A and B are shown apart, each in its own frame.
Chain A
Amino acid sequence: MADTDAGSDATDGEATGDKAGDRDDPSDGAERGSPSAPTGGLVVPVEPTPTLRATIAYAVEAAIDDGFSTIHLVEIASWRDGDPGSDDRASAAERVLERAEAWANSDLDDSDDIDGERPAVTVATELIGADEYLFGPDDYVRVLAAYAEEHGADAVLLDPEYTPVGNTTLLQPLEFALSNTSLTVETAPVTRPTRRERLRSEATGKRFVAMFGFSLAFYLLLGDPLYWFDWVTGIATAAIVSITLSRVSIDVEPAVPRTPMRVLRGVIYVPVLLFEIVKANVEVARVILDPRLPIEPTMNRVRVIVGSGLPLMTIANSITLTPGTLTVRARDSDLYVHSLIPSARDGLFDGSLERWTRFVYYGRASARLPTPRERDDCAILQGPDATEELPIAAADGGESPADDEGDDSAVEPDDEDHEDQEAAEVTDA
């Protein structure tokens, strides 16, 4: 798992890692030389990467040289407690943490050459972020920063192979997001093992097999399965498709029985969705054909509790497929949905599509959850009932969208509390 998952893009990861190291070195050197060395902790996000061992060694060295009192080894959960299999993943993460802790302690024991005794550095481990789904680098940094603040740590050391999501190179955006915090960031200058074997394991991976089988089956369905020429061209096509796209299209390693169960539950979901579509279509048709055109369009925000990637795409697409609701923007787990009529908006806030999506991806037990309305995870952004500002650069304003986004992520925690409060007031009223 670790072998296939770490770093999808060989050259890219290498380049960014080195660049980041170069950029960070001068500032770090300056800080290291200063007499008021930090006394807090050093946070090291941990994943089972090939360079984890070297990163730990470097962290221990840095802690001794810079006088950090504690090395915090943290694993950031990419799952959410209560998901099927979350216990397994949590215990796997605990094992990785235990191993990393043992390495750090043995390195500390070995580094007694200075004055004959073990340096006064303690090692702490913790699994964090398992109480919610984390989407982008901003979420990871938020969780890291909260942990660092809580434990009085003021620096972060990144493993150059650190990719918590599994298939995307997150290091560069992570470094960028971290640079907006007060934490000192450094990427461990450790060497990577050669990538050649990784390419091979990619090509034989389960994703490849799944993608190949699916593409070939589809090709033969369109062609003639009894004609040898279609087999030849089909195999060639499927091979090209799977080599180029298997890591892009399939973001989670297929597993039995999870994947077949998901497909099966997806098949159950199709008629449900079709029914919802027909129902909503009739409602919208009635509104459109009404001479008075009784529409009340508003923009709304709803925070859905589904994982990133395919589950989020499923729910956003289902919302858009249903007439009367249209997903305009997905900002992590916040969906900005435009609704045409109040009944469509109410349906959205009742969250039946969210529950169905959770059913498809996580099973029946996970489908039972409070509606977005009950969770205060929804808001109307326009009209007389509006509870929140429309996050749009005003038509006359010269604010660039990029600035807007940066601000958003920076002030997010405060903003959230505010929103929740307001939403609560409205539901009371």
Chain B
Amino acid sequence: MDALGTARVALVVAFTLLGLFFTFVSMTGVLRLPDVYSRAHTASQADTLGAGFGLAAVALAIGWEAAGVKSVLLLFFIFVTNPTAAHAIARAAFEEGTVPWTEGDERR
């Protein structure tokens, strides 16, 4: 394998690991954070950078082909739909009258 191919494989591995890392952070956040609003922050993290790096790795591994282009498009749609979903959840909680957690409150 030539140097360029090696660099590409290294980058694919790096992106995959970064994606895994941010997904892990997101999961930790969902478990540790105290209320629905703060969890919504970190849940969207899994989508933005977790899935983002994952799809970037896929696009890089596949290369300039139809499937690679589609994975970039997928990324675009995740970036449009993810905040919309997070907003919908938070707004629903807000309209239900859920007061956001502040320092000193109990975990919910």
Contact = CB atoms under 8 A, between A and B. Distances in A.
A392 B49 contact: no
B80 A317 contact: yes
A395 B105 CA distance: 14
A147 to B, nearest CB: 33
A288 B32 contact: yes
Interface residues of B, number: 40
Given A326-B40, A326-B90, A285 B22 contact: yes
A352 B54 CA distance: 28
Interface string A150-182: 000000000000000000000000000000000
Interface residues of A, number: 40
A159 to B, nearest CB: 34
B29 interface: yes
A321 interface: yes
B103 interface: yes
B73 A324 contact: no
A298 B102 CA distance: 7
A2 interface: no
A49 interface: no
Interface of A: 221-222, 277-278, 281, 284-285, 288-289, 293, 295-299, 316-321, 323-329, 336, 338, 340, 382-383, 390, 392-395, 397, 401
15 contacts: A222-B73, A288-B33, A289-B28, A297-B38, A299-B100, A316-B83, A323-B42, A323-B44, A323-B48, A327-B90, A338-B37, A338-B38, A338-B40, A338-B90, A401-B95
Interface of B: 21-22, 25, 28-29, 32-35, 37-38, 40-42, 44-45, 48-49, 69-70, 73, 79-80, 82-84, 86-87, 90-91, 93-95, 97-103
Given A316-B83, A328-B87, 9 more contacts: A277-B48, A284-B29, A285-B21, A288-B33, A297-B35, A320-B44, A327-B83, A329-B94, A382-B100
